[in-house]
Amino acid sequence: MSRLRPYFRYFRTVRLEIAAAIFYGILFGAASGLGVPALIKYVFPPIFDRDGGALPLNLVIQIAAAIPLAFLLRAFSGYRNSYFTQLAGVRILEAIRLEYFSKLQRVPLSFLQNRASGDLLSRGLADTSQLQFTLTLLANDGIKQPMQLLGALGFLVAQAFTEQGVGVVLVALAAVPLTVLPVRYVGRKVLKRAAQMQSQLGGVTAQFSENLSAAREVRAFGLEAREESRFAAACRELIVSQMKIVKYAQALTPAIEFISAIGIAATLVFAYVYDVQLQVFAAVVGALYLCYEPIKKLGSLNNELKRGTAALDRLEVVLHEPITIADPADPVPVGRLRGDLAFENITFAYQADAPVLREVSVRIPAGTVCALVGPSGAGKSTFANLVPRFYEAAAGRVTLDGLDLRALRLADLRRNIAVVSQDTILFNDTIYANLLLGRADATQAEVEQAARDAFAHDFIVGLDGGLGYATVVGERGNRLSGGQKQRIALARAFLRNAPILILDEATSALDSDSEAAIQAALKKLMVGKTVLIIAHRFSTIRDATKILVFDGGRIVADGTHAELIAASALYRSLYERQTAA
Ligand SMILES: Nc1ncnc2c1ncn2[C@@H]1O[C@H](COP(=O)(O)OP(=O)(O)OP(=O)(O)O)[C@@H](O)[C@H]1O
Ligand SMILES: [Mg+2]
């Protein structure tokens, strides 16, 4: 319960609904816990007790009418209570999901890369749902059931003071706390299993989504049967832990019922010994039954709280993740930057103790076209990714126009950078909307001009029988070819017209024809900008004003093409390998 306390703030936004639910819950408790035994005690005797002479039928009907009235009140208030609780519940779910989702928009990329996206998905959908269920049940039974218990206990206590046979009532009451024992035992068991089950559910979802994203590989490598048996094994494990929860949770009600049966039997014996009247006995047993019901429900609620706690643990892995790459408290206001870039003693590691960049220092003046070359895994992409602060170096600093990147608001920094990478991902929207991501306030003429500059306009207008810019590109842009996607990405960069341009294998998916055309376009795009360009083709690299040669996380040489051919053996061998091929 205390684990959930920080999340009670979600209740604040739904306080009207909760207030209504509580009001009807109290009404329900009174009608049910107090009302039903009172009916048994006061309504039945005048009807069955003929000693006082026959009653007029009218009066009998009036007395009998008290029964449906009491149940109507109980039913109506129970219904309203559930309605408002559910309403509050779905609102809370929405709030939790949004918080989880918006957290995912801001956590460092490295956090996401270390986790299976299917598992994150499962946390966001299944665990939030579990938490909603728990909170709703808490708000629902957490009000109604204790109220009913209080009502029934109140009736019992009142009987103890007013009727003979106090002992009966006391015995009856004594059995009530005993029923709490199985509740505690089962609760502990359920907590452990629930944590296990939710994480297995995450595993199943992760496998599912990985399988879908590797649909082509499954077919190409003939993995259908392997994938099926992997998935079946994960599902089987999930079922085993689901059944373990069922085993414990479902044992609770019978256990409580058995204990209450013993309580009632003992009450019966005492009733005989103390010579209790039938209607008093019946009312006491009725009240007793109405005590056990809430205990049963509160027991299930307890289990549900444990499951909610397990779900919460999984959500908090994300919710409590510190946002290490964030806006500074006191950002330096900047507009358009010049693009004077400097790395000072940068050491960076994805995993502790395995630096991928080591003490890198370099200055790239504004307007430089700077090519990064080096063997695969040398750290070129990592180097480029530090500029938009996709990652953050543990030591050293990167400056832009003399300002530490960490002094700028992220949005300001990133507005000054256009990134085009090897695997362009488009949103499942129209081409036009995807282009507009480059600059939200661009006019239609500007969007089309950018598409022309990137040699994308011609293929776009021919798409989907003339739908052109209104063509929807499919998930991740899968309805377009690799080269088409890259040209869309380049068009976005034209549109953005940022002073810093990062091209990471940006032309790798283009055939030589479009590459030749695009080289011309790129030249135009690069004018006056600071460009970091990573390419394997030396046709692109040769013209750079500055070339950095990376090896094993260090810059081992820099200069122009001519200088490096003369001075760097590594550069020469990379160049020769390429031109020979
Ligand atoms: N997200 C990541 N988590 C952990 N290690 C990573 C991650 N990304 C890259 N690495 C490692 O960092 C090193 C440098 O990777 P990087 O992508 O910067 O190389 P690169 O020079 O761009 O190579 P390529 O030419 O193949 O693109 C590699 O050893 C790689 O295994
Ligand atoms: Mg790379």
- Per residue of the chain (581 residues), what is the pLDDT tens digit? 677 777 778 878 888 988 898 899 888 888 887 888 888 888 777 777 766 667 788 888 888 888 888 889 989 998 998 899 888 888 888 888 999 999 999 998 889 988 888 899 999 998 998 888 888 788 778 877 888 888 888 888 887 777 766 666 666 667 677 777 888 888 888 888 888 888 888 889 989 989 998 888 899 888 999 999 999 999 999 999 889 888 888 888 888 888 888 888 887 888 888 887 787 778 877 887 888 888 888 888 888 888 888 888 899 999 999 988 889 999 999 989 999 999 999 999 998 888 999 999 999 999 999 999 999 999 999 999 999 999 998 889 999 999 999 999 999 999 999 998 878 889 999 999 999 998 989 999 999 999 999 888 988 988 877 788 998 988 888 888 888 888 899 899 999 999 999 998 877 766 666 667 777 778 888 888 999 999 877 777 888 899 999 999 999 999 999 999 898 899 998 888 877 76
Tell me whether residue 521 is in a domain: no
DSSP-derived secondary structure letter, 277: -
Residue to substitute in 350, 351, 422 for testing ligand 1 pocket (most ligand atoms within 8 angstroms of CB): 350
On whether both 123 and 224 belong to a single domain, the answer is yes
Q: Point out the domain boundary residue: 319, 347, 363.
A: 319
Q: Are 405 and 398 a contacting pair, CB within 8 Å?
A: yes
Return the residue whose CA atom lies nearest to atom 29 of ligand 1.
377
On whether both 228 and 353 belong to a single domain, the answer is no
Ligand 1 site, CB within 6 A:
113, 350-351, 356, 374, 376-382
Tell me whether residue 549 is in a domain: yes
pTM of the model: 0.81
* Nearest ligand for residue 382 CA: 1
Q: Which atom of ligand 1 is the closest one to the Cα of 550?
A: 21
* Nearest ligand for residue 348 CA: 1
CA separation for the pair 309, 197 (Å, rounded): 13
Q: Which atom of ligand 1 is the closest one to the Cα of 109?
A: 1
Return the residue whose CA atom lies nearest to atom 10 of ligand 1.
350
Return the residue whose CA atom lies nearest to atom 24 of ligand 1.
376
Nearest to 169 by CA among 26, 276, 73: 276
Q: Are 21 and 88 a contacting pair, CB within 8 Å?
A: yes
Tell me whether residue 422 is in a domain: no
Return the residue whose CA atom lies nearest to atom 2 of ligand 1.
350
Looking at the structure of the chain, the number of domains it has is 2
Return the residue whose CA atom lies nearest to atom 13 of ligand 1.
377
Residue to substitute in 381, 422, 556 for testing ligand 1 pocket (most ligand atoms within 8 angstroms of CB): 381
On whether both 168 and 312 belong to a single domain, the answer is yes
Residue to substitute in 343, 382, 505, 540 for testing ligand 1 pocket (most ligand atoms within 8 angstroms of CB): 382
Tell me whether residue 354 is in a domain: yes
Residue 264: give the domain boundaries: 2-319
Helix (H) or strand (E) holding 520: helix 512-526
Measured CA angle at 425 (ends 420, 428), to 5 deg: 135
On whether both 308 and 371 belong to a single domain, the answer is no
Task: Provide the 3-class DSSP secondary structure of residue 527.
Answer: coil
Compute, in angstroms, the gap from residue 408 CA to the centroid of ligand 1. 26
Task: Provide the 3-class DSSP secondary structure of residue 119.
Answer: helix
Tokens of 542: 């040769």
What CATH number is given to the structural domain containing 333?
Answer: 3.40.50.300
On whether both 128 and 20 belong to a single domain, the answer is yes
On whether both 201 and 239 belong to a single domain, the answer is yes
Tell me whether residue 568 is in a domain: yes
Return the residue whose CA atom lies nearest to atom 18 of ligand 1.
379
Compute, in angstroms, the gap from residue 550 CA to the centroid of ligand 1. 12
What CATH number is given to the structural domain containing 313?
Answer: 1.20.1560.10
Tell me whether residue 220 is in a domain: yes
Each residue of 320-330: pLDDT tens digit? 999 888 899 99
Name residue 341's beta-bridge partners: 364, 400
DSSP 222-257: T-HHHHHHHHHHHHHHHHHHHHHHHHHHHHHHHHHH
Compute, in angstroms, the gap from residue 334 CA to the centroid of ligand 2. 30
CA separation for the pair 66, 43 (Å, rounded): 8
Long-range contacts made by residues 103-108, C-beta under 8 angstroms, separation at least 24?
A: 103/318, 103/319, 103/321, 103/323, 104/318, 106/323, 106/326, 107/318, 107/321, 107/323, 108/323, 108/324, 108/325, 108/391, 108/392
Compute, in angstroms, the gap from residue 504 CA to the centroid of ligand 2. 7
Tell me whether residue 365 is in a domain: yes
1 contacts: CB under 8 Å, gap ≥ 6: 305
CA separation for the pair 177, 182 (Å, rounded): 10
* Nearest ligand for residue 390 CA: 1
* Nearest ligand for residue 383 CA: 1
CA separation for the pair 37, 75 (Å, rounded): 16
How far CA 14 is from CA of 8, 64, 86, 93, in Å, comes to 10, 40, 11, 11
Compute, in angstroms, the gap from residue 61 CA to the centroid of ligand 2. 87
Compute, in angstroms, the gap from residue 555 CA to the centroid of ligand 2. 15
On whether both 338 and 305 belong to a single domain, the answer is no
Tell me whether residue 20 is in a domain: yes
Return the residue whose CA atom lies nearest to atom 30 of ligand 1.
377
Nearest to 548 by CA among 413, 460, 535, 60: 535
On whether both 336 and 212 belong to a single domain, the answer is no
Look-up: residue for tokens 């590797």? 214
Q: Point out the domain boundary residue: 319, 350, 366.
A: 319
CA separation for the pair 216, 414 (Å, rounded): 34
Compute, in angstroms, the gap from residue 117 CA to the centroid of ligand 1. 20
On whether both 284 and 331 belong to a single domain, the answer is no
Return the residue whose CA atom lies nearest to atom 28 of ligand 1.
377
On whether both 391 and 286 belong to a single domain, the answer is no
On whether both 121 and 43 belong to a single domain, the answer is yes
Q: Which atom of ligand 1 is the closest one to the Cα of 379?
A: 18
Compute, in angstroms, the gap from residue 561 CA to the centroid of ligand 2. 20
177 contacts: CB under 8 Å, gap ≥ 6: none
Q: Point out the domain boundary residue: 296, 319, 342.
A: 319
Tokens of 503: 């091209």
Compute, in angstroms, the gap from residue 209 CA to the centroid of ligand 2. 25
Compute, in angstroms, the gap from residue 350 CA to the centroid of ligand 1. 9
How far CA 473 is from CA of 270, 456, 460, in Å, comes to 79, 14, 11
Q: What are phi and psi of 370, to 5 degrees?
A: -115, 120
On whether both 294 and 217 belong to a single domain, the answer is yes
Name residue 478's beta-bridge partners: none
